Every structure is written in C-alpha cells, then in structure tokens.
Structure 1
Amino acid sequence: MNRGYFADISELKQHGGKIAAANKILIPAMAAVKFPEFEVSYSDGKTLKLPIKIDTDVVEDNSSASALPMATLLCLSFRANSQAMIDSWSAPFLNAFSSSKNVQLYEVSFIDSWFLCRNPIKKLLLRLMRKPSGNAQNDSLQRQIVYSFGDHYYFRKELKILNLLTGYIFLLDKYGRIRWQGFGLATQEEVSSLLSCASLLLEEK
C-alpha cells in the first residue's frame, strides 16, 4: 500500500492503467460488498458523505426512499493524469442517462498532501477548482465534481487500490453495494457493459 511513484509509473507503462478488465455482468446483490463511506467537498466548501444510499438499519418511508438514487457511478482519481480515463467512462454514462432522475454521477479527486489539506490552503484550493461544465441545465443527471482531502490509506486498503496513477470506476446500487467495477481507459465494449448494468440496476426492486 505504501509503494512509491516509480512502481506506479512502471506498472502504468506496462498496461496503460488497465489493471484488469471491467466486469461484463452485474455482481449479484448477495455477493456484492458495500462501498466504504467517505466525506467529500464541493468547490463551494459544502461537504457530503458518499455513497448516498438506503440505510437498512433505519426504517425509511416510501417518499424518502424513492428520492434516493437507484444507481450511482463513482469515478475515483488520485492523480490529475487519470482525468482522461475518468472522462472515457463518465461522458458516455452522462449521455446515456441524462434524463434519468434515479441515477447519480460523482467524479472524486483525492488530495492527500498534508500541505494542501491544511484549512486555509484547502479553502483556497477549492475556490480555484474546476466547476462542472458541458451539461444542459434541464438534464436530470448532473456531473458532480467533488474532492476528498486527507489520508486515504485505509479507504484504499478496503478497496484494494494500489496504483494511484489510474482511474477507478464503481457502479453502486441503492444500498451502496459495488455491483460493477472498471479501471483505466474505457473500451467500447466496457462502456456498453457499464450502461447495460446501470440499466439493470434501475429495474431492480
């Protein structure tokens, strides 16, 4: 988990960030593991706990449960160079589900530098961060660009994330379980698999 930058770059040269092929089918609900909770910040400083999900320990009324997403795409980036990889998944996902009210898309940038995580620097950095763009205002699905500050060692350990130079894509169901996963730059076949699996999640009861 504590390996260095040169190990990551060497691995990236071998496979271009494609650590493994994406899932071809949905991971069955019974076999799916929950995505670990973590806090993110918007560029305006507002914070949010992800993933947004139905809490099985709390009795939800129908109105609040129906407002929660049926499918959430989380695109994780630990270094700026992986943004093109993230875009290769998020752009087609955004196009396919632009009118859906039951889907959410988050692009998460992780910032672990102790200096950048200090409060005055963090506030300044958030102010300078990019805002979502390219979405029609009347689209139901919006690209949510958020940032997570701090030491992410245990978070990465839980998700078995080793190489920080590639992009990690997770499709979650309404209970916050990982039902599909992709890595690196998307192929056309993998995008088709992602869109198909997301559609299936929207049909789950």
Structure 2
Amino acid sequence: MSTLESVHLEITSYRYLPMQLLLSLCGMDIIYPDIIYHIDLKSTASFTRTNRPQKAMLYLIMAFVFQQSRLCKQRLSKVLTWTRNISSPVSSVATQRKHALSSILTSSLTAQSHCLHWDTSTPSKSTAKRHFSQKSPFEQPSVFDTEYERLRLRRNKHIRMHPDGHGKDILPGNYVIKKHPKTGQERKVILEHALGYFWALKELSLTDNKPILSNECIIPAAEAEKFPTLTGLHCLNDEIVNIPDFFTRNNLSKDATAQCTLVALSCKDFGAKLLPSWTKPFDEALRHGGDSHKYETVRITINEGRIAKLLSPLIVSGTRKNVPEEDHERTLLYYGDAGEMRDILRMHNIYTGYVFLVDGIGRVRWAGSGEGSEEEVQNMIDFARELTKPPQKFSRQSNKAGPRVGKKFPPQD
C-alpha cells in the first residue's frame, strides 16, 4: 500500500472554526479543548468512503464544537472553507487535501491571528494506527502564559483569602484549575464553566459575605504594595479624577504618616449596604476630633458593562440623592472594565463590599470585606491611628561621668 507524507496541524486557538473545516480534518487531526491529538496519515485507505471515522473521533469533534475553547478571542479574518472534489480518484484525494489546506492557511489567515500552523514531516511506513499526542498547548510559551504571569505577579500578596471561599483558587483571567477525575490531568477552565454562573452567591453563604478576611495586623511598610491605578473616575461634584493620586492629593509633604484614607468599594447594591458598618464608626471615631484632617473616607462604586455607561446620568442622579452633600467630593463612580484592578486586590466576588486602609503615599496597609464586626472595626480604627503616628525620634543622650577611680592627690605647690 502506498504511503503519503504525514501532515500535522497545530491549532493554538479553536474558536470560530466552521464545522466544514473540522470535518475536513477528521482523517488527520482530532482537536479537543486544551489538548491537541496529532494523527499521522499513513495511507490513502483512511480517505476512502468505506473507512469512515470511528465513533470516538466523532464524539471528540462534537464535544469540541459544543464547548468551543476560548483561548483565542480574535476572530479569523475570513471563513475557512474547503471543498472536496468527489470526482477525483482516491489516490489523489490526500494530496488534494494537503494542497487545499495549504491554500486555506496562506489566503485566509492574517499575520496577527497565527491560529493555524502546519508542516509536513518525512514519509513513514504504511500503517492504519493513529497516534495521539499527550502534549498540551499550555506547556508551550504563549501570549496567554505571558499575560497570566504578569497578572499573577501584580496581585497583592498580603490580602488574606477566606479558606472556605473560591477566591483562593481563582487564577488571573478568571480561570480555575480543574482535574479530570479519571486521568488526573489538570487544565485551565473558565470560572463560570467550572463553578457555575451563581458561584459568587454560593461563596457569600460559605464565607458569611467575607471572601477576604481582615488583616490581624498592619502590613509592614517595607512590604506594602501601592493601590492599583484606575483612571477616569467621576466625582459627584462633576470632576474627573484618578486613583491612587486622589487619595494623596492633600499630602504635599509626601509623608506616609501624614494621613490615612479608608477606601470603601462596591460593585452591587448589596455590597454598598454593607459598607456603612465600616465607614460610619470610622468617621465617628476619627473625623470629628482635633486630628480630623489626617483621616478621610472615599467611597467608590464600580459600574461594569456597556449598559451602565448608557445609564450613567440616572446612576449619578440617584447616587446624589442617597449621599449627603458634604460627601459628594469623596464619592467616586467608575464606568468601564475594572477586572485587572479587582484581580490585584482579590475582589473576585462582586456582590459584597471591600474596605482598604491606604497610607499617605498610596500603599495598601490593611484590607477587609463584608459586614464589619465590632472587633474588626475597632482593630481598623486602631490601625488607622497607628498609621498616622509620627516616627519616633531617638536622641543620643550624653553619658554622665561615673564615680572617680583612683586616689586623689593634693595639688603640689
């Protein structure tokens, strides 16, 4: 039986591939989410009408079509199509298929997508056995891995995640590691696909609305990380500000102990209703004394999605009615994607509220979430006072003369 060159197709992104192209690849490669199975084409017998693909192959293709891995978010520039010439002799079908795929790859893909890469290897012996590769695309360096590593390093390492919550298992980009129950193989899965679309509500019941545990002590100044940057926030007094610069706008001396800011963030109404348990005691204890200029409370509401941007006039008017006028300049609204900032601060659950203590130069020194208990609120107030204490100055004291040693001789004339 005559042999042919084995054609390997390495598909690094699987989205938007038409069914017609997938069926044309039946006899060559099987593509399954997160795993690429390379099948060596050994003979023309695999292309005959009598040798149809096995049921397992069809099941894998159907599973791929329905799951549609989301590794690549870029749409292909053109629709990939392939037309098989049924009237051609069987011996030349494989060759036509290889040339058809070559023309498809060169004409239909742009230089930016890099979705399909194919190469031809040396001819091998004739055999009908299919070879399945166990190599995963995650083992190869890619743009996804580079971005994942960058986001992982930017996460605040001093924020304590609840041991019973899902936040400790969430990877940058809203992925989780899922292990196959039979093979034990691990792969990255989208958060909603792995835990369900209502995972956040379930987490609130497991953690008592506290996916982040309050720090038991102040984060050391040498290890504290700066509050993540977010631009284009709208004040209720019609100003556009950026954070964390807004927190340190009054600290002209750039002294870390000059002030302390309590930042209260929420994404939903349920989380906003939990924040007064933190902000109200903070204001009563610190913002009505002689050192009230050292303390400030900033409330931030994050509105993600295009609909929120369209409804921004209604959101602003409703917020102004519910917020006292003296707090308008310290109430910020944000419209847009804040996923990276939330990932850095480990705010994965958008249904609760979060609070942070920020020092005079914009560093996060304490964090908490949910509804504050009496002990947590008192610790927060004590930590805020400690952050505004001036550093102690150690003065060098002169050593006093000790007792005289030796015999005293009378002065000689």
TM-score (normalised: structure 2): 0.43
Specify which structure has the bigger relative contact order, considering alpha-carbon pairs within 8 angstroms and separated by 6 or more residues. Answer: 1
Kept in 1: contact 2:236–2:328 (CA 8 A): no
Q: Distance in 2 between matches of 1:97 and 1:43?
A: 24
In structure 2, how many angstroms separate the alpha carbons of the residues matched to 1:72 and 1:94? Answer: 11
Cα offset, 1:8, TM superposition: 0.3
Does structure 1 residue 182 correspond to structure 2 residue 388? no
Hey, what's the Cα distance between the residues in 1 that align with 2:243 and 2:293?
18
Where does 1:82-97 land on structure 2 (aligned, <5 Å)?
82-97=271-286
2:295 equivalent in structure 1: 103
Residues 110 and 148 of structure 1 are in contact (CA less than 8 Å); yes or no, is this contact kept in structure 2? yes
> How far apart, in 2, do the equivalents of 1:197 and 1:34 lie?
18
Match of 1:6 in 2: 198
Distance 1:10 1:86, change over 3 A: same
**1:142–1:104 distance in 2 versus 1, CA, 3 Å:** farther
- Tell me, yes or no, if the aligned pair for 1:105 and 1:142 is still in contact at 8 Å: no
- Distance in 1 (CA, whole Å) between partners of 2:259 and 2:377 is 19
State the shift of 1:53 in Å: 5.3
Letter in 1 for 2:296: Q
CA contact (8 A) 1:171 1:180 kept: yes
How is 1:1-205 mapped onto 2 (pairs within 5 angstroms)? 1=174, 3-4=191-192, 5-39=197-231, 40-51=233-244, 52=246, 64-65=252-253, 70-99=259-288, 100-118=292-310, 121-131=311-321, 132-133=323-324, 144-205=330-391
**CA distance in 2 between partners of 1:65 and 1:195 (Å):** 24
Output one character per residue of 1:111-131: Cα deviation in whole Å (capped at 9) or x when no partner.
Answer: 00212214xx32343133235
> How far does residue 87 in structure 1 lie from its aligned partner after superposition?
0.7
Contact 1:107 1:143 in 2 (8 A): no
In structure 1, stretches of 5+ residues that fail to align are 56-62
Decide whether aligned partners of structure 1 residues 204 and 19 sit closer, same or farther in structure 2, where only a CA change above 3 A counts.
farther
Amino acid at match of 2:236: S
Q: Which of the two has higher C-alpha Rg?
A: 2
Q: Do the aligned residues in 2 keep the contact of 1:166 with 1:184 (CA within 8 Å)? A: yes
For the Cα contact (< 8 Å) 1:42–1:146, is it kept in 2? Answer: yes
Structure 1, residues 57-103: CA drift from partner, whole Å, max 9, x if none?
A: xxxxxx83279961111011011101222111000001011231011
Work out whether residues 235 and 328 of structure 2, in 8 Å CA contact, stay in contact via their aligned partners in 1: no
Change (3 A) 1:3 1:76: farther
The alpha-carbon distance between structure 1 residues 14 and 54, as it changes in their structure 2 partners (threshold 3 A), is closer
Q: CA RMSD in A?
A: 2.6
CA distance in 1, matches of 2:220, 2:390: 11
On the 8 A contact 1:170/1:180 being kept in 2, the answer is yes
User: What SS class does the counterpart of residue 276 from structure 2 fall into?
Assistant: helix
Secondary structure of 1:176's match?
Answer: coil
Counterpart-to-counterpart distance in 2, 1:67 and 1:107:
23
CA contact (8 A) 2:255 2:361 kept: no
The number of residue pairs the alignment matches comes to: 191
Identity %: 26
- Residue in 2 aligned with 1:58? none
Contact 1:54 1:65 in 2 (8 A): no
**Which AA in structure 2 matches 1:94?**
D
SS where residue 334 of structure 2 aligns?
Answer: strand
Cα displacement (A) at 1:147: 0.9
In structure 2, the CA distance between the partners of 1:108 and 1:79, relative to structure 1 (3 Å rule), is same
Structure 2 CA distance, aligned partners of 1:70 and 1:160?
25
Contact 1:71 1:104 in 2 (8 A): yes
Residues 209, 352 of structure 2: 8 Å contact kept: yes
* Cα distance, 1:16 vs structure 2: 2.3
Give the letter for the 1:196 counterpart.
Answer: D
Distance 2:211 2:360 in 1: 27
Deviation of 1:3 after TM superposition, in Å, equals: 4.0
